Amino acid sequence: MSEKTILKFSDETAAIAKKIVARYPEGRHKSALIPLLHLAQAEFDGWLSVPAMDCVAEFLSIQPIEAYEVASFYSMFNLKPVGKCTLEVCRTSSCWLNGAEDIVRHLEKKLGIKEGQTTADGMFTLKTVECLGSCGTAPMLQCGGDYYENLTLEKTDKLVDSLRAEGKARVYTNDNPVNID
Amino acid sequence: MGKKILLANDHIEGIRFLDTYRKHGGYASLEKALKSMTPEQIVEEVKTSGLRGRGGAGFPTGMKWSFLAKPEGVPRYVVCNADESEPGTFKDRYLMERIPHLLIEGMILSSYALGAKTSYIYIRGEYFYVARILEQAIDEAYAAGLLGKNILNSGFDLDLHVQIGAGAYICGEETALLESLEGKRGNPRIKPPFPAIAGLYGCPTVVNNVETIAAVVPIVNEGGAAYAAIGVGNSKGTKLISASGHINKPGVYEIELGVPVEEFIYSDEYCGGIRNGKKLKAVVAGGSSVPILPTELILNTAAGEPRLMSYESLGDGGFATGTMLGSGGFIVMDEDTSIVKNLYTFARFYHHESCGQCSPCREGTGWMEKILHKILHGHGTLADVDLLWDIQSKIEGKTICPLGEAAAWPVAAAIRHFRKEFEDFIRNGEHVNDVKHYYRLNNLTAPIN
């Protein structure tokens, strides 16, 4: 029997979490659950393991099941390990009309995986997702909180190559630069 | 050129930042309101303006505000619905990313009018970078004394926070949004009670869409009557339209309500016509939930009148021959589009996004997706069209929240207006007379989960 893994927020993350909890009226700290699950996912390798969810529940003094039931409801929370970069290609109407399927098939070929899978080197996970509100700049994909829009097969290739060269994990964190045109 | 109210300054460099926003008249409404207007007067102006909820339902905002209960000693909340997830809709994202202070100013005005001391902007998790833009703008506003204690020396206090979601279309439904904001699964609540009586933490709450709240700024500044002077019939003011699909100029356009649909699609001021010189086949005029209309019915009503971009004109003819303005998610499809395949992407969407609380929606959306998947893969039978019709009719009106209708209406409308295309697809096992999409369909290999 292995010992139960216990995860704890880093001091830095715990300080951010405390600030978030202070946004709500007294006794309503459970409202911080979703923002804190995001923090946990970013801190613990891009997915929510049971110890990661327990860490959030412990921080908020709520029952672990309250964290599990919420984590399992929302599609942005990964309940299984993912690659360093998750490529989330929008597949709904406007993106489909503009060739999203070609992008997905191209990525499958390029990465040698099917949608929903992770590359053997743990670099990429390929997902299709529902409308990301980028219909006027379709087709598009999201990676780690950044939108990549008006995609072509060439642009997709370039993106994958640059992410691979960078080799870094892309998660939703406050470190992402805010860049709009 | 139509009159622009919300996006009049969206092209100005740096309008995202407080200094520039103020230089161009930003926060003048707030100063006016806090110095010279009572909360009741603001509510009256909003009523006079005829503003209707811009998230999709089109409910009169002033009326919604007047329903808010005001028991002594109980806090009230204003919550902004920035969960924009209706396929085809991206106007709120554009507004927040370009002019975040317009939303913040609207939130302060609305909170003052409704007596809220703490307010939240609930934004979909995927708009993570937009949430950061909002947070930076909120920090600027606090530093300038526009948020926090004693705003502009008026004695009015307000704290404003951004709450991030985590990927759930259903959280755009206002009671599901409140559940999510309370840290729970996004299951819509049974109504009544409505949020105006028991909303966030059981307290009286108003939930309004981003664009609705932003519109309060010009309404306070220019007066409700000036806003009501724009538009046509009961469609007052301007509306942000998210235009996408097979058009030359996709993007967000602010229109005066009442612009003819034909002008909106073909004029260079807006969509700039159909891409690659193709012909128009169909339009989904107000986000994925509203009925799709073929060319002849979207350009003109059944009576032959030109169809206008307004609540009444788009609704003319009911669902038999009309549609809805909805969220303003305007998806244009050219002559090569397979309606069956497009409907499949919608059906898959609603199945994915059903919260699972009500059986008709949870099961029905799954069945509709499966049947369409079967048709797409060449295994459909003519009876499947009737089966689809039967299923959608058993979802509509039988669920706690309108996701049921939202899932049923697109299926019903596609069959109503394009039945022959479904039958041709089934007989031939593929989309007929459509070389381009025939290629794509043969490449559709994803199994259904």
> Is A97's CB within 8 Å of B93's CB?
no
Instruction: Tell me: do B329 and B345 sit in the same domain.
Output: no
Instruction: Tell me: do B179 and B205 sit in the same domain.
Output: yes
Among residues B315, B334, B353, which one ends one of the domains?
Answer: B334
Spatial CA neighbour of B310 closest among B251, B263, B247: B263
CATH code of the domain in which B417 resides: 1.20.1440.230
Q: Looking at chain A, which residue has its C-alpha nearest residue B117?
A: A25
**The tokens of B122 are what?**
């609930």
Instruction: Tell me: do B295 and B352 sit in the same domain.
Output: no
> Is A136's CB within 8 Å of B242's CB?
yes
Determine if the peptide bond prior to B193 is cis (ω within 30°).
yes
Q: With bands split at pLDDT 50, 70 and 90, how would you rate the model's confidence at A4?
A: confident
In CATH terms, A11-71 corresponds, of 3.40.50, 1.10.3470, 2.30.30, 1.10.10, to: 1.10.10
Q: Report in angstroms the alpha-carbon separations of A63 from A17, A33, A55, A78, A140.
A: 18, 11, 11, 20, 38
* CATH superfamily of the A85-166 domain: Glutaredoxin (3.40.30.10)
Instruction: Tell me: do B135 and B223 sit in the same domain.
Output: yes
Q: What is the pLDDT of residue B438?
A: 32
Instruction: Tell me: do B79 and B220 sit in the same domain.
Output: yes
Instruction: Tell me: do B62 and B89 sit in the same domain.
Output: yes
CATH code of the domain in which B244 resides: 3.10.20.600
B5 is a domain residue = no
pLDDT in tens, chain B (449 residues): 688 999 999 999 999 999 999 999 999 999 999 999 999 999 999 999 999 999 999 999 999 999 999 999 999 999 999 999 999 999 999 999 999 999 999 999 999 999 999 999 999 999 999 999 999 999 999 999 999 999 999 999 999 999 999 999 999 999 999 999 999 999 999 999 999 999 999 999 999 999 999 999 999 999 999 999 999 999 999 999 999 999 999 999 999 999 999 999 999 999 999 999 999 999 999 999 999 999 999 999 999 999 999 999 999 999 999 999 999 999 999 999 999 999 999 999 999 999 999 999 999 999 999 999 999 999 999 999 999 999 999 999 999 999 999 999 999 999 999 999 999 999 998 888 643 333 333 333 333 33
With a pLDDT cut of 70, the percent of chain A lying above it is 94
Helix (H) or strand (E) segment spanning residue B92: helix B91-98
> Is B133's CB within 8 Å of A97's CB?
no
- The C-alpha atoms of residue B70 and residue B213 are separated, in whole angstroms, by 20
> Is A93's CB within 8 Å of B346's CB?
yes
Of B75, B244, B349, the CB nearest to A138: B244
Instruction: Tell me: do B361 and B418 sit in the same domain.
Output: yes
Highest mean pLDDT among A141-145, A172-176, B64-68: B64-68
Q: Which stretch of A56-70, A162-176, B82-96, B176-190 has the lowest confidence by average pLDDT?
A: A162-176
Instruction: Tell me: do B176 and B200 sit in the same domain.
Output: yes
Res. A181: pLDDT tops 50: no
Instruction: Tell me: do B108 and B218 sit in the same domain.
Output: yes
Instruction: Tell me: do B50 and B157 sit in the same domain.
Output: yes
Q: What is the pLDDT of residue A171?
A: 78
Q: Looking at chain A, which residue has its C-alpha nearest residue B89?
A: A133
Instruction: Tell me: do B95 and B200 sit in the same domain.
Output: yes
Among residues B196, B229, B262, which one ends one of the domains?
Answer: B229
B4 is a domain residue = no
Q: What is the pLDDT of residue B432?
A: 83
Helix residue ranges, H only, A10-151: 11-21, 33-43, 50-60, 64-71, 93-97, 100-111
B138 is a domain residue = yes
**The tokens of B235 are what?**
């469609």
Between chain A and chain B, the number of residue pairs with CB atoms below 8 A apart is: 168
B93 neighbourhood in chain A, CB within 8 Å: 133-134
Mutate to test the interface with A, among B126, B271, B331, B436 (most CBs of A within 10 A): B126
Spatial CA neighbour of B173 closest among B403, B395, B404: B403
Q: What is the pLDDT of residue B268?
A: 96
B145 is a domain residue = yes
Pairing of strands B118-123, B159-164: parallel
Which residues on neighbouring strands pair with residue B148, listed in sequence order? B158
B10 is a domain residue = no
B447 is a domain residue = no
Instruction: Tell me: do B138 and B169 sit in the same domain.
Output: yes
ipTM of the complex: 0.95
Q: What is the pLDDT of residue B449?
A: 31
> Is A92's CB within 8 Å of B166's CB?
no
Q: How many domains are there within chain B?
A: 3
Sequence spans of domains, chain A: 11-71, 85-166
Q: Which domain holds residue B172?
A: 18-229
pLDDT digits (tens, 9 = 90+) for A113-137: 999 999 999 999 999 999 999 999 9
Tell me the nearest-neighbour CA distance from B164 into chain A, angstroms: 6
> Is B341's CB within 8 Å of A96's CB?
yes
> Is A133's CB within 8 Å of B127's CB?
yes
Q: What is the pLDDT of residue B439?
A: 32
